[in-house]
Amino acid sequence: MSIDGEPATSTSTLPVIDPAVAAPFACVPDCTREQLDATVAAAQRAFVTWSDESFEERRRLVNAFIERVVADADALAPLITREQGKPLVKARGEINAAVFFARGYAAVELAPEVLRDTPQQRVELRRRPLGVVGAITAWNYPVLLAMWKIVPAVLAGNTIVLKPSPHTPLATLRLGELAQDIFPRGVVNVISGGNALGTWMTEHPGIRKIAFTGSGPTGKRVMASAAGNLKRLTLELGGNDAGIVLDDVDPVRIAGDLFWAKFSNCGQVCAALKRMYVHRSVYKAVCDELVKFAATVKMGGGMEEGVDIGPIQNRMQYDLVRAMVDEAVAGGAKVLYRSGVPSGPGLFLPITILTDVTPSMRVVKEEVFGPVLTITPFDDEDEALRLANDSEYGLGGSVWSSDAQRAAKVASRLDSGGAWVNQHPAMGPDIPFGGVKGSGIGVELGRLGLEEYTSIQVLNVKF
Ligand code: NAD
């Protein structure tokens, strides 16, 4: 890769755009099909010995890799900020989170389960690695998403070929470089390229599993293309999460949490609270407090001091989110709040809170991956749940109340993989995370997440 004018090492390259100024600042190799073939072949060769290593030895090297990432945080953080847009302090936060989750993942056990143990027979359910894993990631959390795939894949005994989003390849390529110091050759491979490279990976006969994080429409294409050799799949796709705010909340106390549930990372979070349903008795107070809070938030370039929210990551999203808001307003939605934006060519969209929206508007129906929140009042819990569950997606959802037990009862009726009370989202390295309906297939994190990188083998011994 080349940054700020240093020579690139490949003839065919892709530009990397800094969204704070909407201008290229680096370029990376655009991997060809032949280079993918060579990488997969190297990963297949490495699999022979890596899969034979003990689990403890693999864990030792995974932990060494995680510490290598910790030591490199000063170099990684500005790469994330410049390619992704998030403020430097949040880029640091992403690395810290990636390390926290990775350490937790690396502590998970994968011991065989004894199903029968009698004088006549012993039956064990064992977990075996799959082979070469193809990992494909999105641009909103490049380092976090990459670590969520590298760590379980290689811990379980697989080798991995990882392709970051063409919009944010730099920090992930850096992770690939760090991995070379730790793992045997061919175990961890990072390649950069466009969307076509993703398609070649999903079709590739040498890849046994695709671990994919991205949008719903791409997820469906991945699934169809991976059918060729019946690849295993984990699909972590988009979401259109609802948050239900019950009548007994304290609007002042929860305003900050509600705000960041939506606007973290400039609203570019798969499991952000994208549609808010608020009981009519507290509707005005919640709206007022959200507006007050929003007015305290600073938007700007990620390398500036004191910035809370950066730009939208890429031009396509910028145009899409803008169009969705314009359409909604033309259709009768009211703008409850709209922030200013920094001047200049950067891809800054205002923090926008919309009311008077209808379920058929795209801003409600589709995933809005940007700084836009819709708020709708409701009169009873059944109505709130009906509205919340009226979505093709089912990643997460939350219920907010001063009575956590009451909220938990309502949350358990959400049609989503995550059901959270007084928080949104809520994740942990030992807690499986994944969506239902159009939000995906399978989970990441925890033992269930690690098992997704294995196949079962039943060892059945007759004495
Ligand atoms: P995207 O689907 O456009 O791209 C994701 C990745 O897929 C990129 O690396 C891209 O190059 C690759 N790709 C594109 N076309 C492909 C194809 N035909 N075959 C194989 N790979 C292909 O998504 P995006 O815009 O990068 O990311 C935003 C989306 O990701 C949002 O919908 C967001 O909700 C979702 N997301 C989900 C999670 C989760 O854990 N559920 C986490 C982060 C982001």
Q: Per-residue confidence of the chain (463 residues) as pLDDT tens digits?
A: 656 655 445 469 999 999 999 999 999 999 999 999 999 999 999 999 999 999 999 999 999 999 999 999 999 999 999 999 999 999 999 999 999 999 999 999 999 999 999 999 999 999 999 999 999 999 999 999 999 999 999 999 999 999 999 999 999 999 999 999 999 999 999 999 999 999 999 999 999 999 999 999 999 999 999 999 999 999 999 999 999 999 999 999 999 999 999 999 999 999 999 999 999 999 999 999 999 999 999 999 999 999 999 999 999 999 999 999 999 999 999 999 999 999 999 999 999 999 999 999 999 999 999 999 999 999 999 999 999 999 999 999 999 999 999 999 999 999 999 999 999 999 999 999 999 999 999 999 999 999 999 999 999 999 9
**Is ligand 1 within 6 A of the CB of residue 436?**
no
**Is ligand 1 within 6 A of the CB of residue 238?**
yes
**Is ligand 1 within 6 A of the CB of residue 195?**
yes
Ligand 1 centroid, distance to 237 Cα (angstroms): 7
**Is ligand 1 within 6 A of the CB of residue 402?**
no
Q: Which of 136, 143, 220, 436 to mutate to test the pocket of ligand 1 (most atoms within 8 A of CB)?
A: 136
Ligand 1 centroid, distance to 344 Cα (angstroms): 28
Instruction: List the catalytic residue out of 83, 94, 236, 452.
Output: 236
**Is ligand 1 within 6 A of the CB of residue 223?**
no
> Is 266 designated active site?
no
Q: Which residue's C-alpha comes closest to atom 26 of ligand 1?
A: 138
Instruction: List the catalytic residue out of 270, 287, 444, 452.
Output: 270
Full 3-state SS string of the chain: CEECCCCCCCCCEEEEEECCCCEEEEEEECCCHHHHHHHHHHHHHHHHHHCCCCHHHHHHHHHHHHHHHHHCHHHHHHHHHHHHCCCHHHHHHHHHHHHHHHHHHHCCCCCCEEEEECCCEEEEEEEEECCEEEEECCCCCHHHHHHHHHHHHHHCCCEEEEECCCCCCHHHHHHHHHHHCCCCCCCEEECCCCHHHHHHHHHCCCCCEEEEECCHHHHHHHHHHHHHHCCEEEEECCCCEEEEECCCCCHHHHHHHHHHHHHHHHHCCCCCEEEEEEEHHHHHHHHHHHHHHHCCCCECCCCCCCCCECCCCCHHHHHHHHHHHHHHHHCCCEEEEECCCCCCCCCCCCCEEEECCCCCCHHHHCCCCCCEEEEEEECCHHHHHHHHHCCCEECEEEEECCCHHHHHHHHCCCCCCEEEECCCCCCECCECECCEECCEECCECHHHHHHCCEEEEEEEEEC
> Is 270 designated active site?
yes
